A and B are shown apart, each in its own frame.
Chain A
Amino acid sequence: MKTRSVSGFVFDEGSSQRRRATLRVDQENRLWLEGESEPSGLLSALRVPARVGNTARFFQLPDGRGFETSDNDGLDSLLVAAFGASSTIAHRLENNLGLVAVAGVLLIALVLLAATKGVPWAGDITAKFVPDDVRATLGRSTLEQIDGAWLAESKLSSDDRQRLRALFDELSSQITPSSRLLFRSSERLGANALALPDGTVVLTDDLVAISDNDDQLAAVLLHELAHVEFDHGLRSVLRQAGLSVLILLVTGDVSTSSTLIIMLPTVMLSLQYSREFELEADRFALERMVSTGIDPLAFAQIMSKLEASRSADLETKDGQGDETQQHDDGVEDWDYFSSHPATEDRIRLFEEAAEALKSRSR
């Protein structure tokens, strides 16, 4: 049986004083306040706001008075008579439990998918449309920054430089001919090599010092050239930007104290991105080493040496409680800690390739 009345409160126009009242609809769809001798108007003249959850609704009666009711089902069934549909699509969707559950699962899937696939994909696509002068600017400003803060003049002999530059040109001529090699020394970075977005590769003196032979340096240079070839610098910048947009979308409603806890998933995701790039660069270097006849073991050897020199470095530095280092290197050292087992995997990749080559040639 359909309800033909709702109870609530009536307010005179522009007044906050309320009275209990019952609103009734007669056979001709006229509205009556119970106890009054005149109808207050036609049901079809009512403009009632759409239902939201089970919240009270306030609406104007045709004669200008206000009416407030919490009897949402009663009000909706009154409205069916005049307008057909009783509630909006949104309200019906919200009351469909199955749909809500499906939507919840979909949303989780969407967020995960966006974080692991969507953000990298969007970043990589964008990178394809970025003109080269952006890479040049990015490379130049990065170099300026680290030149000021971390890097100093190289102390390599001009013989060493000439020899390594020739090696670099030979390697890069088949990959990215516009690349250039810079020599720097750095206490902070120790033995290290960097690839900048514009194709510049920076090699530190310490790395040259710990290497046993040029094959090992060629392995490192190939790895860095792969970063250039695959545009890893710009792509990681764009992925980071996409990641911060996603984090903002997911947590946009949190007002404070969020920074600390949000840092964790952010760092974990960006680590995943950078590991993906490292692996890609390793595979490329391996391929080139095999095709140009450099023993893949050279990469494994230099990696173990780097590993050893870094842990030695870290121990001495931490022992002294070097304040600035901890602060600036925060994220990089996270990288270092979490890529620890991964480093072994990377070495193994090259050792296995070397084994395979050997057994084939036997």
Chain B
Amino acid sequence: MEPDSTSDSREPQNAASHNSAHPMRFEGKTGEFFAIWIVNVLLSIVTVGIYSAWAKVRTTRYFYSNTYLNDSAFEYTADPVKILKGRLLAAGLFLAIQLAAYLAPVVSDIAFLLLMLAFPALLVLALRFRMHYTRWRGIRFVFAPDFTGAYVLFIPLIAYAAVVALLSLAAPSEITEENSGDPMLLWIFYGVMTAAGIVALLFPWWQNRYYRFIGNRTSFGQQSFTYTGGCGGFYLFYAFAGATVVAGIGGYAGLNYLGSDFLAPSVQKILPFVLIGTAYAAAMAYILTARNNLIYSRIQLGEVSMESRLRFPRMCYLYLTNTIAIVLSLGLAIPWAKIRMAHYRAETFTVYAPSFDDFVGAAATEQQATAEDMSEVFAWDFGL
């Protein structure tokens, strides 16, 4: 199922012979994290969400500080009070918009538009925050804020949103018997479909640019990361994922056509969910696995290179068993699932470096926590 280019055990590209392999190590324990997690949940409920900022910091710290590279752990040093302020601001804005929208519905449209326009800036702020509070051996990661670059990066998506918005303005608000034959309606439909098709075709190319944007603006102390590579690899795994979904739909159509005579009605009812749902889940797992491996193979930190060897069958198995366990345990298995996943990710991660002694820290600055948590309230996940 997997194309080799995304999962092979690649030799580090410019690894001089003096580079040695340093496996990542994760030492988190289910029992220990379960205690932290359950106290987090309970205190968050009891304090009506106030504690969630501390909960987030403690959880992140637990995972960072149990991840070891060359016998030194990573650190997450964000201040919960800052995160809390960010969350309160976001929650306040959200409430204000909801209330205003109740009086004048157009407010929610405007707010949504403004949020779309602010998104590239919020992304930059969130990355800056997260990198700044991540340390290893006392040296911070740095994300150089490049707002212009972020807006240039998002031009294709903003253009797409603008096209759809303009077309929907041109469309009648209701489709009735009278106007359903209007050729204009058909053209609008074609327009939206074409724009969506173009965006879908360009997405792998765009995503490569997105990771290049992040990679090339991130440094560890004073040493910059570099991201190299074209969009071919992205097209390859998205094509595979797309083919999986098409196969699922085809399988359903075929079985439905052939099997209507001998399959029980109840089986036929759940068939589309099982086949297409499974294909969709497999495609998602495949994208996450292949993309993760590809991105890390392209990141370089001076002479240091890295390699992630996640395997698709294993990831499917982990996702599936984690989900079953979480649902059956009414959520209590969440800590176990997270620890398992972290173990597997660390186990399959290797850093190739001649030495870890020569990194130099950059001068530190304080910054607002608002960005990352604005995005949390509005459910946009930023993942590197």
- The residues of A with any CB-CB pair to B shorter than 8 Å are 9, 11, 13-18, 49, 52-58, 60, 66, 68, 90, 93-95, 97, 99-100, 103-104, 106-108, 110-112, 250-251, 253-265, 314-315, 318-321, 323, 326-327, 330, 333-334, 337
- Closest Cβ–Cβ distance, residue A76 to chain B (whole Å): 15
Contact status B319-A103, CB under 8 Å: no
Contact status B273-A330, CB under 8 Å: yes
- Closest Cβ–Cβ distance, residue A8 to chain B (whole Å): 11
Contact status A323-B39, CB under 8 Å: no
Q: Does B332 contact A (CB under 8 A)?
A: yes
Chain B residues contacting A110 (CB-CB under 8 Å) are 45
Q: List 18 A-B contacts (CB under 8 A).
A: A14-B138, A52-B62, A53-B62, A53-B65, A58-B75, A99-B39, A100-B34, A100-B35, A103-B41, A107-B38, A107-B331, A108-B332, A111-B331, A251-B323, A257-B285, A260-B273, A261-B323, A330-B273
Partner of A11, one of B137, B256, B327, B337: B137
- List the one stretch of B12-20, B185-193, B209-217, B276-284 in contact with chain A: B276-284
Chain B residues contacting A100 (CB-CB under 8 Å) are 34-35, 38-39
Chain A residues contacting B139 (CB-CB under 8 Å) are 14-16
Chain B residues contacting A95 (CB-CB under 8 Å) are 35
- Closest Cβ–Cβ distance, residue A130 to chain B (whole Å): 12
Chain A residues contacting B38 (CB-CB under 8 Å) are 100, 103-104, 107
Q: Does B365 contact A (CB under 8 A)?
A: no
- Number of A-B residue pairs with CB-CB distance less than 8 Å in the complex they form: 177
For the complex, what is the distance from the CA of A100 to the CA of B41, rounded to whole Å?
11
Smallest CB gap from B137: residue in A: A16
Partner of A256, one of B274, B284, B334: B284
For the complex, what is the distance from the CA of A330 to the CA of B139, rounded to whole Å?
55
Partner of A327, one of B54, B61, B272: B272
Contact status A56-B73, CB under 8 Å: yes
Chain A residues contacting B332 (CB-CB under 8 Å) are 104, 107-108
Known: A55-B61, A107-B332, A260-B281. A320 touches B34 (CB 8 A): no
- Closest Cβ–Cβ distance, residue A144 to chain B (whole Å): 9
Contact status A16-B265, CB under 8 Å: no
Partner of A52, one of B36, B278, B316: B36
Contact status A55-B221, CB under 8 Å: no
- List the one stretch of B120-128, B156-164, B353-361 in contact with chain A: B353-361
Per-residue 0/1 for B310-330: is the Cβ within 8 Å of any A Cβ (1 yes, 0 no)?
000000100110111011001
- Closest Cβ–Cβ distance, residue A197 to chain B (whole Å): 19
- Closest Cβ–Cβ distance, residue B293 to chain A (whole Å): 16
For the complex, what is the distance from the CA of A28 to the CA of B54, rounded to whole Å?
34
Chain A residues contacting B9 (CB-CB under 8 Å) are none
Contact status B360-A15, CB under 8 Å: yes
Contact status B260-A251, CB under 8 Å: no
Chain B residues contacting A251 (CB-CB under 8 Å) are 323, 326-327, 331
Instruction: List 5 other contacts, CB 8 Å, given A94-B32, A250-B330, A334-B269.
Output: A16-B136, A55-B62, A257-B281, A257-B284, A258-B323
For the complex, what is the distance from the CA of A319 to the CA of B62, rounded to whole Å?
57
For the complex, what is the distance from the CA of A255 to the CA of B280, rounded to whole Å?
13
Chain A residues contacting B382 (CB-CB under 8 Å) are none
Mostly helix, strand, loop or mixed at chain B's interface?
Answer: helix
Which size class do B's interface residues fall under?
A: 35 or more
Contact status A326-B323, CB under 8 Å: no
Smallest CB gap from B51: residue in A: A90
Contact status B265-A94, CB under 8 Å: no
Smallest CB gap from B63: residue in A: A55
Contact status B62-A254, CB under 8 Å: no
- Closest Cβ–Cβ distance, residue A236 to chain B (whole Å): 22
For the complex, what is the distance from the CA of A104 to the CA of B43, rounded to whole Å?
13
For the complex, what is the distance from the CA of A54 to the CA of B288, rounded to whole Å?
30
Smallest CB gap from B272: residue in A: A327
Contact status B273-A17, CB under 8 Å: no
Partner of A257, one of B62, B319, B361: B319
Partner of A14, one of B61, B316, B361: B361
For the complex, what is the distance from the CA of A254 to the CA of B272, rounded to whole Å?
22
Partner of A53, one of B36, B42, B272, B282: B36
Chain A residues contacting B327 (CB-CB under 8 Å) are 251, 258, 261-262, 264-265
Q: Does B132 contact A (CB under 8 A)?
A: no
Contact status A17-B358, CB under 8 Å: yes
Contact status A260-B274, CB under 8 Å: yes
Q: Does B298 contact A (CB under 8 A)?
A: no
For the complex, what is the distance from the CA of A55 to the CA of B67, rounded to whole Å?
9
Chain A residues contacting B338 (CB-CB under 8 Å) are 253
For the complex, what is the distance from the CA of A250 to the CA of B330, rounded to whole Å?
7
For the complex, what is the distance from the CA of A330 to the CA of B278, rounded to whole Å?
17
For the complex, what is the distance from the CA of A263 to the CA of B32, rounded to whole Å?
31
Chain B residues contacting A18 (CB-CB under 8 Å) are 72, 137, 357
- Among B139-162, those with CB < 8 Å from A are 139
Contact status B58-A52, CB under 8 Å: yes
Contact status B323-A16, CB under 8 Å: no
Known: A107-B38, A251-B327. A256 touches B72 (CB 8 A): no
Partner of A90, one of B43, B266, B324: B43
Smallest CB gap from A70: residue in B: B73
Q: Does B268 contact A (CB under 8 A)?
A: yes
Known: A66-B138, A254-B326, A326-B269. A259 touches B277 (CB 8 A): yes
